[in-house]
Structure 1
């Protein structure tokens, strides 16, 4: 069984200090050095806009100032990590989402304002984008986890249930991840269990089970970064163990993990690697593979 030790963690810390954004440096300190949550929250604030949404590169591949839906989900994740589910910023996110939600309760993946600033080439949208299960399901799931009580959440939850009940094409990897987040946290647990049982095969279909699969793949640990949750139930113990071994073995000598997708401008390389390094270390610790 491959594990990381205290020396490995120190090397990862050096990588983060050399390369990562301030917010990810504070996240590393919070998770692995007993740091305070306050610096994480302080580092998050400059990404927030007056409308309650987030921009300014919080999603590294969106370099613009304008609020977009996906950065809002990053903000909710960071708030939760910092133990700040009751922070007023959570309500402000809901207020922002209410202004961009389509008539059926869904949130578009990306808004036309993306065109006004540099962005990765895959962030494209029509002039009047429809609501999508990604990111609506992720946002709804994270807000249910936070215990949010806001008018936005009811219609968004209904949008997600209708999507899951409708016949249609199998989800791609990002849609599947969004659905799993929703099912993990939506309050109606019996309905969530039934939906998971119905869609289990489709949710697992986008995952590459071979740890050596080339290209921009999605692997089991992307769907199951911790032992709990529906994502973990998609894979056997043997599959998870193989991918944990591969994850430990795949770390470059500089201490930080790489990413399998396109780095389209120089800044996003270290930004994504710093973020992903924190995430990989969190997953390894969750599975008992980090032994400092």
Structure 2
């Protein structure tokens, strides 16, 4: 049984409906519209934001910035940034942005909901490159024109220019932004300045355990930026294939703090890893 068949079996046994439909649309010729139909209930009509455990570690119904990023990655893989969900979500981002144009990592309203222990914040959180930079990058990639994007882009440039050291999640957001933003000269200059700091956050042992960040977490598809040599990527692609579990899925390497998230993340990551393998020509056919 090949990689796709095994993964499909895992998703049928354990995956959320949205991840099963993503798999069908991306790998089996299924309907893009059905994925969009499944995504819409995660968006809150009251404010345009996303919640409702689209990001599995945020269990509450209320909107938060990070689930907007999750939704935008799904819309990106479908080529669906023409969806009305996008401007509604951008309106939400504009309303919750901090002074300076960036959205916070998480809003204080998270305190009223079940969530993983790392979703904590001050009373008045500042804008953060996580998730502002990734969201802005995806909007640039897909021709976004919402007014929020200009302020968010200025915020990202300002914060990136001030960086000397970084952390894995922040580095991943920075890479996404610099890889997708239209001003290539400026992006390449900042990338050259920060490349070693970014690489310092990467775990290069492909079989390392725990909540580490591998090269393919930064480059889930080939980048325009010269971050990794091909031999590094090949070694990690080999490991990704080798670590597909007996049940056909891949699991999160961070804390499973409540049982339901094990397979909610497992289904999401299984589709993500299949996309990566295909992007690098590693899937059969």
TM-score by length of 1: 0.95
Which among 245, 270, 280 is matched to residue 287 of structure 1? 280
Give the whole-Å Cα distance in 2 for the aligned partners of 1:11 and 1:57.
26
What SS class does the counterpart of residue 103 from structure 2 fall into? coil
Q: Report matched runs for 1:68-217 at 5 Å.
A: 68-166=64-162, 168-217=163-212
What is the deviation of 1:169? 4.3
Aligned to 1:19: 14
What is the deviation of 1:185? 1.6
Unaligned runs of 5+ in 2: none
What is the deviation of 1:251? 1.2
What SS class does the counterpart of residue 241 from structure 1 fall into? helix
1:272 aligns with 2:268: no
Aligned to 2:44: 49
Unaligned runs of 5+ in 1: 1-5
What SS class does the counterpart of residue 234 from structure 1 fall into? coil
Aligned to 2:248: 255
What is the deviation of 1:212? 2.1
Aligned to 2:221: 226
Count of paired positions: 284
- 1:37–1:83 CA contact under 8 A, matched in 2: no
**Which structure 1 residue ranges, 4+ long, deviate > 3 Å from structure 2?**
none
Aligned to 1:241: 234
CA RMSD of aligned residues (A): 1.1
Give the whole-Å Cα distance in 1 for the aligned partners of 2:236 and 2:75.
28
Higher RCO (C-alpha 8 Å, min separation 6): 1
Give the whole-Å Cα distance in 2 for the aligned partners of 1:229 and 1:62.
32
Q: Report matched runs for 1:58-69 at 5 Å.
A: 58-69=54-65
- 1:55–1:67 CA contact under 8 A, matched in 2: yes
What is the deviation of 1:18? 0.8
Give the whole-Å Cα distance in 2 for the aligned partners of 1:137 and 1:240.
24
